[in-house]
Chains A and B, each alone.
Chain A
Amino acid sequence: MTDIALPASRTANPFAGLMAGTTGPVIVVVLAILAIWYIAAVSLNAKFQIEIYERANQVDVPFSQLVTDTLAQERPVLPAPHQVIAEMWDTTVNKKITSKRSLVYHTGITLSSTLLGFLIGTTLGILLAVGIVHSRVLDKSMMPWVISSQTIPILAIAPMIIVVLNAVGISGLLPKAMISTYLSFFPVTVGMVKGLRSPEVIHMDLMHTYSATRWQAFWKLRLPYAVPYLFTSMKIGMAASLVGAIVGELPTGAVAGLGARLLAGSYYGQTVQIWSALLMAALLAGALVALIGVIEKQTLKYMGMDR
């Protein structure tokens, strides 16, 4: 069935080891995506380029020129990867960080509200989970609402929350952070409830025979058990928090932040700008999740729980 295609590790092929792991396949898939991207960029931009040629009365344009022209348009339908990279390089390295044209500046603004929201959301999520695990009333009455709170498309009302809070006088970081909070508390709550309940009955019974109080059982048994769950859900929460921050920036009149960059790009048809903001958001998400991964590894090592 699937194991017919065993990796040919016995042969002298130096790439065999690479292809057997995940690195090789991932590189191949990424290259394939880039190739598809280029082909799509050429074919999507070709229509407009041909129109330009017709207007300029250029006939018999060689295909190679068509390809190079489609990959170098000012406002392409789909910018080519190297255009996006060039734009990112231009707006990160060649601009001063304090400049409003600098992507680093916008990323910093998004990052700060993401982190603030994530911090509040994680704290709230842990507190809720502790309450839910220890109180039957909270468990029965709150848990269904925690779940259904996420079926409310909060992102949809993000603009309104921002506008309303602005009207009250709360502006700046906090409104955006609140949206991030709302999105990131849920995975943490659910993960922590699962984690705090993960000690086996026999261990809880052991704590009971030691005549441990609930407080002691919590600190010495439940919490250590919940740490791996906490990190897993923090990764999800961080990603959700970034989404919240970006959407929260949409209605602020396109002032600053990656979301504002997206909106401004869509108003003025600056596709390269949209894609560079998008790629920056992706890099940011990857970096933040990776950071949590590193902390997770260190913490678990310290606790003696790593495998």
Chain B
Amino acid sequence: MSSMTASRSRFDTAAILAGLVIVCVGLSLATMAFAGDRYVFNTPNLGIPFGFLAILGVRYSLGFAHNRAGDIALGVVCAVSGWFLIRAAHQFAGDAAFGFWALVCALWFSFWLFVDRLAAWRLSDPSAARVVNLLIPLLFGATLLLLWELIVTGAGVPKVLLPAPSEIWVRLVGSVPTLWADFQQTFVKAVLIGYAVGCGSAFITAILVDRSPFLRRGLLPIGNFVSALPIIGVAPIMVMWFGFDWPSKAAVVIIMTFFPMLVNTVSGLAASDAMQRDLMRTYASSYWQTLFKLRLPMAMPFIFNALKINSTLALIGAIVAEFFGTPIVGMGFRISTEVGRMNVDMVWAEIAVAALAGSLFYGLVAMIERAVTFWHPSMRR
């Protein structure tokens, strides 16, 4: 297998990446790492790991270390070098010169090489393969964070523009009570209630609409059209109608989630074959039996598609609605006021919370989907 792919592709990505690592490390040795005549030689905690990186790079480009032990060694060296590079960057924050950037590039290429090697592993054990498949995107994310930290501290980007991940983390840990209160106001009250009511009412409407072909033909194009509209614009109106507290935000979420759910459920209910419905009829099953035993299960992939779309829409709706007026708590409120006060690290902390909440919410819906629609072809492995 591997020999076939190697012969088909004209170049070997790993060898190229390893070569780039060597070139970058070489460049960094030849040039000044930080302003003020600090070379890589003068800062030993930089030189040692990058020496290792270069050696491993040579081994890769010559093709010695193409085994798992070599890959893992590469990963460990990458992590250690990253750690030392961050420490050095903080020590001489804002003084980065050409050599430093060469080292950052070397680190980036070696992480890339590591991920490339990891993706090429062929594991027979399915659970180990799953762990590796989870590890790869995590490593990718970690690399992005690492580069962000290095570039921001190395170039001395002002905190007002873009804080480093470490600063955001400090702020996040330091203001847990505020974040928790905002989370409760926005997520637990507005998002969850709005999501449940919006999706639930759309589901019931869809089942009612489905009984009348006339309504179905009339509502489906309109529902499709409305799903494409910038519904978020109703936020100021809802704030006027329902006041500043969470009910107005929940109302925005209800309106935003209603139409995707309606359209998807209606088209999902039409997903069963005529043959299958005929079979149900030969069993002399009633409308409700057909609905619960055939049509709703067949509609589940569509319904979960809408639930997943809505899980992200709901959070966006609630946060944006808060820009139009809130009590003094809430994620959208915090973001807009802290931007005004130039506390950008607090804004990023809030975003991190929102992203985490959004991802977990999405992941939860996806997990339930996997359990409910286990029979669907897209779920099979």
Interface residues of A (CB under 8 A from B): 1-3, 5, 19, 21-22, 24-30, 33, 77, 136-137, 140-145, 148, 150-157, 159-160, 163-164, 167-168, 235-236, 239, 242-243, 246-247, 250-251, 258-259, 262-263, 265-266, 269, 271, 274-275, 277-278, 281-282, 285-286, 289
Contact = CB atoms under 8 A, between A and B. Distances in A.
Contact of A152 (B227, B240, B354): B354
Interface string B335-366: 11001000010010001001100110110000
A263 B215 CA distance: 36
Contacts of B211: 2
B241 interface: yes
A151 B362 contact: yes
- DSSP majority for the A interface? helix
B335 A156 contact: yes
Contacts of A29: 215, 218-219, 222
Contact of B140 (A141, A159, A263): A141
Given A5-B213, A141-B136, A159-B323, 12 more contacts: A2-B213, A24-B218, A25-B215, A26-B222, A141-B115, A156-B354, A160-B347, A164-B161, A167-B160, A247-B320, A266-B237, A285-B229
Contacts of B361: 151
**Residue of A137, A236, A251 with most chain B CB atoms under a 10 A cut-off:** A137
Contacts of A33: 222
Contacts of B141: 145
Interface of B: 13, 112, 115-116, 119-120, 133, 136-137, 139-141, 160-162, 210-222, 225, 227-230, 232-234, 236-237, 239-241, 277, 287, 290, 311-312, 315-316, 319-320, 323-325, 331-332, 335-336, 339, 344, 347, 351, 354-355, 358-359, 361-362
A106 B324 CA distance: 20
Nearest to B214: A25
A278 B234 contact: yes
16 contacts: A21-B217, A22-B221, A30-B222, A33-B222, A140-B119, A141-B115, A151-B311, A152-B351, A153-B316, A153-B319, A157-B335, A164-B160, A164-B162, A250-B323, A265-B236, A286-B225
B344 A247 contact: no
A156 B112 CA distance: 31
A159 to B, nearest CB: 6
Contacts of B233: 246, 258-259, 262, 274, 277-278, 281
A145 B241 CA distance: 38
Contact of A285 (B140, B219, B228, B315): B228
Given A5-B212, A153-B319, A156-B335, A140 B344 contact: no
A118 to B, nearest CB: 13
Nearest to A269: B240
